[in-house]
Amino acid sequence: MRVIVTGDAGFIGFHTTRRLLEEGHTVTGIDALTPYYDVSLKERRLEHLRGFTAFEHHTVMLEDAAAIRAIFERSQPDVVIHLAAQAGVRYSIEQPRAYIDANVVGSFNILEACRHVPVRHLLMASTSSAYGANEAFPFTETDKAVHPITLYAATKGAMELMGHCYSHLFRIPMTAFRFFTVYGPWGRPDMAYFLFTKRILAGEPIEIFNNGESYRDFTYIDDLVSAIRRLVNCVPPQVDQRAGLPAIEGDTLSPVAPYRLVNIGAGRPEKLTDLVAEIERALGLEAKRLYRPLPAGDVVKTFASAELLDRLTGDKPSTPLSVGIPAFVSWYRRHFN
């Protein structure tokens, strides 16, 4: 396949691009290398990818519609995996415009490019934050997600809605997937597990919010990439092509578009203090804890229903923290010497 991956220098984009290249596909990457976190980490990821002859990278802002369109016309992709975004729940309170620019305007430009350069399948990364103030667990794709509590979540929800419109109007086969707290080697330095590791090694205290009574459905990066890779082949059929196809229980296929929404999560929420304990075991050090109230925009719990993912692909994330955290710590020690 010829694949465009946006956000190829990011955490998830790097791992996804590497998997595709290892399988022998041709990948064109797009990433703006913005300084939301250490750009040198993004550059080191790209160094690994540039070892593949079938890889090409473009440092371009998603907001640059002309440049995005030119890359699509040159690459003629079969598949587009749109992972680039302005991430971070708390940062969206400080810098809201960055989220409108990247997640709304940038995603619109990707949709427009797919409209003019037709693709076999467009896959777009959304977030568990889209479930907002929902309190029914587990979060199921058919739940209404109309009460976002951060602009980050709202922009991702807007992307999903724009995607459905384009899928309907221009018959673009499209899958939107909602990620649940992804972690692992080469991860983002602003994530809790990364910060905890860094501070424990430095002998500094770590901040534990909501007095430790927070839960997250952690998804190990290799499991996530495997799910994305399987979903590439689960192309939502056109409306007029569905007659005679076997029904999938709980499917979220749109009645008017070749569009589907899928959670990617383990379906196994873990307490924040259990995450800390796994990091302490992997490091052989004890953390100094500071307990803090829940910050604005944070939710107490995330919990994915992974049933649809399992039915579509025959698999779902299964790596426990007891395996994933030591793998991250081992990478961290090597990478930061």
Q: Which three-class secondary structure state does DSSP give residue 177?
A: strand
Which of the residues 36, 37, 152, 183 is marked catalytic?
152
- State how far the Cα of 55 lies from the Cα of 21, in Å rounded to an integer: 7
- Residues 110, 113, 115, 120: what is their CA dihedral angle, to the nearest 10 degrees? -80
- The token pair that represents 53 in the structure block: 């002859």
Tell me if residue 183 is catalytic. Answer: no
Q: Which three-class secondary structure state does DSSP give residue 257?
A: coil
Match 């596909």 to its residue by tokens: 25
HSE-up of residue 247 (Cα within 13 Å, Cβ side): 2
- Residue 56 pairs in a beta bridge with 28
| Helix ranges, 76-150 (H) | 91-94, 96-99, 106-116
- State how far the Cα of 27 lies from the Cα of 110, in Å rounded to an integer: 16
Residue numbers annotated as active site: 152
